[in-house]
Every structure is written in structure tokens, then in C-alpha cells.
Amino acid sequence: MSDVSTAPEEPPPPPALRRAARGSRPRSIQVTITRPLVFGFAVVLGGLGAYLLGVAASSVATILIYIALAVFVALGLDPVIRWLEARGMSRTRGLLIVFGGFVVILAAVIAFVLPPALRQVGAFASAIPAAIADFRDSDVYSSFEAQVGDVLGTALDQLSTFFADPGNLLALGGGILAVGFGVGNAISGVIIVVVLTLYFLASLSSITSAFYSLAPARDRPRLRQLTEQITDSVGDYLIGMVVLAACNAAFATLLHLVLGLPAPAFMGLSAFLITLIPLIGPVTYWIFATVIALFTDPVLALIFAVLYLIYMQFEAYLLTPKIMNRAIAVPGALVIIGALIGGTLLGLLGALVSIPVTAAILLIITQVHVPRQNAKV
């Protein structure tokens, strides 16, 4: 019996070479051509799933906004708690002090600032037709009309007609309440945000630790450093913007009281909300408040415009560098673009959170993406 030598079997060629050898198409293209019904059903099913996912996301959009707002408030209050911890106070006691002060201030605004502000804006809206008539009888309007014609008169007539209709006033008031605080939804929303903020403040360390554990062990120190830098900067930014907005609100309210301009509480609240938007907020409020004051007295409006413009320079060159020195510096163009995109998507809240989000993205790009690109030679 002779020995038969057998050569070792060669491994089969990869699937791509086998397809190329027999001249066949990839399986996905085969399914598309030979089974169009299955392919069409899969496409329709995928589109339907995406649509249902979008509907579900839109249904919980309000809850997502509450969560995002609570996260930003917690990040804004956390530096104060850590400042108290650095001076020997326990985190629990610091949490109770900071959160208690936050709740007291919020309750004081809702109880003592919001009701007179809403009453004043209603009374001011009702008085606008008479203010427009007085303005048209003034010498300033006569000289302006002699130079440019009756261009302003048509706009004033339409504005007076709008505010003279009680239905429009009711619609305007309803819209303001719907967009702002509302009646029942606002109370429930504030309660939800307060509870979520307390939870996030109490469990912020455990949340961040769980977030770090999602990354590979070799990347966790870098992730921890980057996350702490982002959260610290966001917290410093939010505290700084609240302080600057409070200064704007105090100065605007005092200026309205001294000059005798209408609705000081409403204008102070408007100053606080509008000037929370960085860079463009103070300018927006300056234009808005000056136009409102113009219907009361053009001379007082001019005085208000000059004094508030002086305050804006004081804030830009003295207050802002001292208060915002620890926050991430964001270029002015990105601030405007971020505020416009955030305001378009989520209104005032989107404009407020757009700057910290832009700063976080900028920090990730400069400290993660750019070093990786520089390492590629």
C-alpha cells in the first residue's frame, strides 16, 4: 500500500473575491434588484420609525427643556457650593444654604415682581393710543414730519388701532403669558425645574462619576479634566450673566423711577431677561426701552438713551472683565451666531444656553480635535 501525500488545504478566498470571481453583485444590491418589495418595505418601515421617534421627541420636548434648564441652573449654583466647601462647610449644609437662597429669590420674584409687572404692561398697553396722540401733537413729531413726510404717521395709526382694540390686548396678554410664565403650566414648570435642580445638585458627583465610567479606563483622566473644565466654565458663565443681568435690571428700574417713565417693574424684569443674552442683549434692551419711553416724552427718552448707553460702556469695560474673567472666552461672531440659532430653536431659553454650549464645543475642538490633527504629520 503506497503512501499518498496530501497537500494542505488552502483557506477559502474572502467573500469579496468570491463575488468578484463569479461576477455577482453585493447582497444588498441583489436584494434591491431581485426583491424590490422587501427593500421598499424596509425603507418605509425605517421612515415610519424615524417619524414616530420625531413625534415622541416633540411630545416630550417640554420635559427635555425643563431638564436642560435644571442642568444649567445646577451648574450655575455648584460653584457657590464648592466655594463654601473650600471654606470648611459640608456639601450638605452648603447645598441647603445655596438652594434655600435660590428658592427664596425665585419666590420673591414671582410674588412681588411678576404681578405688578403684568399689571403695568397691561395699563401701559391701554394707554398707548393716548400716548401716540400726544406724541403726534408734539413739536418733535411736527419737525420730523416736515422733513421726511407722513411716513411715521401711517405706522403710528396702525399701532394705535391695534392697541385700541380690546381683543388685541387680550390676545397680546395671553401670548405673553403663554410664552413666559403662563398660569398653571408656569407653576408646574417652576416646581419641576426646582426639584430637578435640587436632585442634580445633590447627586452631581455621582452623575459625573457614572459618566466617566462610560469611557475606556485609559481615557477617563482626560475626560474628567475636560468635563470639569467645561462645567466650571459654564457655572462661572451662568453666575456672571445672572449678576450682570441683575445689575442691568436694577439700573433700568432705578432709571425709570427717577425719570418717571411708565412700568418700572415690567421694564426692570424685561431688562433682566433680555440682558441675559450676552453681547446683543443690552443693545436690544436699550433700543426697546428707548422706543417705549419715546411714547411718554421724547426728552425723557433721549435722557434715558444717553444714561443707559453710558452704563453699557461702564458694564462692558469694567464690570464684564471682572465678573466674567474665569469663563471661557468666545469670539463675538460665535456669540451672535449661537444666540441667533438658539433663539430660533428654543426662544429665550435657547439664546441663554447657546453661549455655554458654544463655549463647550469650542473647548472640545481646541483641546481634543486640534491636538489630534497637529499630531498627524
- How high is the pLDDT of residue 276? 84
- How high is the pLDDT of residue 342? 78
Q: pLDDT tens digit string along 191-224? A: 888 888 888 888 888 888 888 888 888 888 888 8
Residues in the chain with pLDDT values less than 70: 1-36, 38-39, 124-125, 127-129, 131-132, 135-136, 138-187, 325-329, 332, 348
Rg (CA), the chain: 30
- How high is the pLDDT of residue 27? 55
- How high is the pLDDT of residue 254? 94
- How high is the pLDDT of residue 305? 94
- How high is the pLDDT of residue 281? 86
- How high is the pLDDT of residue 178? 43
The cell for 269 is: 424684569
- What Cα–Cα distance (Å) separates residue 358 from each residue in 42, 64, 274, 340, 368? 38, 19, 19, 12, 15
Q: Which amino acid is at 147?
A: Q
CB 141 within 8 A of CB 134: no
User: In angstroms, rounded to a whole number, what is the distance separating the alpha carbons of residues 162 and 160?
Assistant: 5
